[in-house]
Amino acid sequence: MSSVKEVAERAGVSPATVSRVINNDPTVKPETRRKVQQIIELINYKPNQFAKNLRKQASKIIVMVLPTMNNPFFAGIARGAQAATYKNGYHIITGTTEFNKWQLDAYINLLRTNLADGIIFVSLHASKDVLGDVFNKYPVVLCNEYFEDLEVPCVTIDNHKAGYDAARELTSRGKKNIAYVTGTRKSSSGAGRLNGYKQALSEAGIDYNPHLVVKAKSVLEQIKDAINGIKEKGLEIDAILTNSDLQASYILKGIKDRTIFLPPDISLISFDGTFVSEITNPSLTTVAQPMYELGYKSVEMLIQKLQNKNHIQENVVHLPHQLIIRET
Amino acid sequence: MSSVKEVAERAGVSPATVSRVINNDPTVKPETRRKVQQIIELINYKPNQFAKNLRKQASKIIVMVLPTMNNPFFAGIARGAQAATYKNGYHIITGTTEFNKWQLDAYINLLRTNLADGIIFVSLHASKDVLGDVFNKYPVVLCNEYFEDLEVPCVTIDNHKAGYDAARELTSRGKKNIAYVTGTRKSSSGAGRLNGYKQALSEAGIDYNPHLVVKAKSVLEQIKDAINGIKEKGLEIDAILTNSDLQASYILKGIKDRTIFLPPDISLISFDGTFVSEITNPSLTTVAQPMYELGYKSVEMLIQKLQNKNHIQENVVHLPHQLIIRET
DNA sequence: CTGAAAGCGCTTACAG
DNA sequence: CTGAAAGCGCTTACAG
């Protein structure tokens, strides 16, 4: 392993000067710089990151915690995040909790041990009690979900408008009984979308019926029960809004299997706009989210925060979504 | 930020002793240990990883490079890898190349700068010339694809047998004209599967026809052209074998769109066994790979290598695959 | 424009 | 069983 010392000796300068060359200190005489750079290339010297980090008290590593990689929506966010970290000379450790509480703690420890400079929580569903402390102590950016009265920066779509756009499309098709399959957990995105849904109904002169709003995880079993539960109450369904492409794909599956009792040509709109919405049969009408950009922007905001660049002005950044009409 | 020094002062011992407690040195007197541990908890002390790494010349960080996260097959591998690193007290930086050559170099730099201890390449398609150097200098494990005469450990399924099992299923259905859509790049997995396919044909008394084997990326356009290309040569197709669930899903799409001219009930078998094979309509018969285990085992082997535990005996580890019969 | 020196926060061989 | 000291490989205020 070569070191500044070795480069210094070979170049006939001090380690300090080598360091200055590496860090583009403008006070170095051009000739000296050239000499040092030559040696660096000659012996293919790369500075030891740990020594650097230890000295600088910063690692240029950030952490991104996602619920899972199994949903291509999150994979898309991770991709964007990766691109942004790379572009800014940072590194990223992406991890998933797979819905385990303990996993979350493991990632936070990366901050506590100084391994990482900051953290991005994607679609975090956790109580403020647990995390308020983390928000106070470390640089944090949220993606998709925000916490009401905490001043943590957040990148998301305008969920109210997204919910509105989706429901509006259905009411404009003349649908009156629009079931809405949400996620199982309370969330800012869920609340926003629900309000948008209600607004669209109201504008179409349709009464809001809470029995049409049901919760389910992205598991065939739960989705089936949730939807059939509505019908068992004697309610009609002539359209469905669903929380994710994945959920929607299971609904189509259930309809085809005849475990969900709905017509195969039912109006169905989902959220996300992943490739899943293209490969189902029929293909899904979906509210596409800018996954890549969500990840990219989250990283940019975190880095901005790390570099204390003029105190981030906007706390919540809304990225545009887009309703894509396909076959459902 | 608290440090060993602070803990030492508060506990009335030397920094060395604190370090010994942290590292479970058995020579510490139980009483001393207790005293120190109390202080550690009291002030919630966490050792600075960089200082530790610098001193130990190891980071317990490994890198996993995947082609993309957009294919759930790779997401599954990443999940398994994550679990294994966590279990072993390591951290993992997973990154994707998205098929860019330059990205690869960025990940290798993590080794050069000592940020990471070792690297896992998943489905790596690169020439030995480029990477032989990396293989020699740093601890490397390969996943899915191996390089013939390099002694780099590799975790994969038995692709020959997998290709055989898939093709065998088709010949046993009485199919005679089995098209095979492979990936676009030369690969050890591709070669293995092709040989298995040939063996199954031969056992069924069917002549191997190279015109039935076509290359395509996981893009509708290419797959369409590849398959229609066969038909334009005047060849019949009564079954298809395809490289991935994703590719297969596009084939179904094309058939339904009538841009691929095949009957909707054609026999179709794909590889991977991701959730995609469940949500297509019809659902896919697929050769399921143990994604999670592939990732998990790759990490285990790398860590074994890092710890020099009795020189890894087996160089290539084959994990079991499973043919899952669904609707195609 | 450059160098000598101190220090980032750990661990470990050595001495006792 | 424990401490003093050296050192991992950098960077930076200070002095010249």
Residue with tokens 């948008």: A196
Q: What is the pLDDT of residue B307?
A: 86
Contact A281/B256, CB-based, under 8 Å?
Answer: yes
Mean pLDDT score, B236-250: 95
Residue with tokens 């029929």: A282
Mean pLDDT score, B254-265: 91
pLDDT in tens, A58-94: 999 999 999 988 899 999 999 999 999 989 989 998 8
| Confidence check: pLDDT of A310 > 60 | no
Mean pLDDT score, A235-254: 95
β-partners of residue A155 are: A143, A317
Report residue B1's pLDDT band, with 50, 70 and 90 as the boundaries. Answer: low
Distance in Å, alpha carbon of B304 to nearest chain A alpha carbon: 22
Q: What is the pLDDT of residue B102?
A: 66
Mean pLDDT score, A13-40: 93
Q: In angstroms, how far apart are the furthest CA atoms of chain A?
A: 88
Residue with tokens 């209600």: A198
Mean pLDDT score, B43-70: 92
Q: Check if the beta carbon of residue A11 is closer than 8 Å to that of residue A18.
A: yes
Q: What is the pLDDT of residue B246?
A: 94
Mean pLDDT score, B67-76: 92
Q: What is the pLDDT of residue B85?
A: 93
- E strands, B136-238, in order: 140-143, 154-157, 178-182, 213-215
Mean pLDDT score, A34-47: 92
Could you tell me which of B211, B282, B199 has the C-alpha nearest to residue B245? B282
CATH class, range B4-47 = mainly alpha
The percentage of chain B sitting over the pLDDT mark of 90, rounded to a whole number, equals: 76
Q: What is the pLDDT of residue A69?
A: 86
| Confidence check: pLDDT of B309 > 70 | no
| Confidence check: pLDDT of B310 > 60 | no
Is A159-288 in the same CATH topology as A57-157+292-319? yes
pLDDT in tens, A123-168: 998 877 778 888 888 999 999 998 877 788 999 999 999 999 999 9
Distance in Å, alpha carbon of B216 to nearest chain A alpha carbon: 17
Q: What is the pLDDT of residue B219?
A: 86
Report residue A311's pLDDT band, with 50, 70 and 90 as the boundaries. Answer: low
> Backbone phi, then psi, for A325, in 5-degree steps?
-85, 120
Task: List the nucleotides on chain C closer than 7 A to a protein CB.
Answer: 1-5, 7-13
Could you identify the residue whose CA is nearest to the C1' atom of nucleotide C2?
A17
Arch. (CATH architecture) of B58-157+292-321: 3-Layer(aba) Sandwich (3.40)
The fold adopted by the segment(s) A57-157+292-319 is Rossmann fold (3.40.50)
Q: What is the CATH number of domain A159-288?
A: 3.40.50.2300
Rounded Cα distance, B97 and B101, in Å: 7
pLDDT in tens, B204-229: 999 999 999 999 988 889 999 999 99
Please give the helix or strand (H or E) that residue A250 lies within, else none.
Answer: helix A245-257
| Confidence check: pLDDT of A194 > 80 | yes
| Confidence check: pLDDT of B313 > 70 | no
Burial degree of B181 (CB within 10 A; 0-12, 13-18, 19+): buried
Could you identify the residue whose CA is nearest to the C1' atom of nucleotide C9?
B51
Q: Check if the beta carbon of residue B58 is closer than 8 Å to that of residue B117.
A: yes
Q: What is the pLDDT of residue A157?
A: 97
Spatial neighbors of A282 by CB under 8 A, at least 6 apart, are A252, A265, A326, A327, A328
Q: What is the mean pLDDT of chain A?
A: 92
Contact B82/A76, CB-based, under 8 Å?
Answer: no
Report residue A98's pLDDT band, with 50, 70 and 90 as the boundaries. Answer: confident
Q: What is the pLDDT of residue B326?
A: 96
Task: List the nucleotides on chain D closer than 7 A to a protein CB.
Answer: 1-5, 7-13
pLDDT in tens, A269-302: 999 999 999 999 999 999 999 999 999 999 999 9
CA separation, residue A58 to residues A52, A64, A117, B237, B306 (Å):
8, 17, 6, 60, 26
Mean pLDDT score, B257-265: 91
- E strands, A76-190, in order: 91-96, 118-122, 140-143, 154-157, 178-182
Edge-first strand listing for the sheet containing B322-324 = B213-215, B178-182, B239-242, B267-272, B285-288, B322-324
pLDDT in tens, B119-163: 999 999 887 777 888 888 899 999 999 887 778 899 999 999 999
The percentage of chain A sitting over the pLDDT mark of 90, rounded to a whole number, equals: 75
**What residue ranges do the domains of chain A occupy?**
4-47, 57-157+292-319, 159-288
**Angstrom distance, A39 CA to C3 C1':** 19
Report residue A312's pLDDT band, with 50, 70 and 90 as the boundaries. Answer: low
| Confidence check: pLDDT of A224 > 70 | yes
**Angstrom distance, B4 CA to C1 C1':** 39
Asked if residue B57 keeps its beta carbon closer than 7 A to nucleic acid strand D, the reply is: yes
The percentage of chain B sitting over the pLDDT mark of 70, rounded to a whole number, equals: 98
Could you tell me which of A95, A82, A70 has the C-alpha nearest to residue B90? A95
| Confidence check: pLDDT of A267 > 70 | yes
Q: Check if the beta carbon of residue B140 is closer than 8 Å to that of residue B116.
A: no
Q: What is the pLDDT of residue A179?
A: 96
Q: What is the pLDDT of residue B312?
A: 62
Nearest nucleotide by C1' position to the B54 CA atom: D8
Q: Check if the beta carbon of residue A277 is closer than 8 Å to that of residue A248.
A: yes
Question: Which among B53, B98, B249 has CB closest to A279?
Answer: B249
Mean pLDDT score, B21-44: 92
Strands B140-143 and B178-182: unpaired
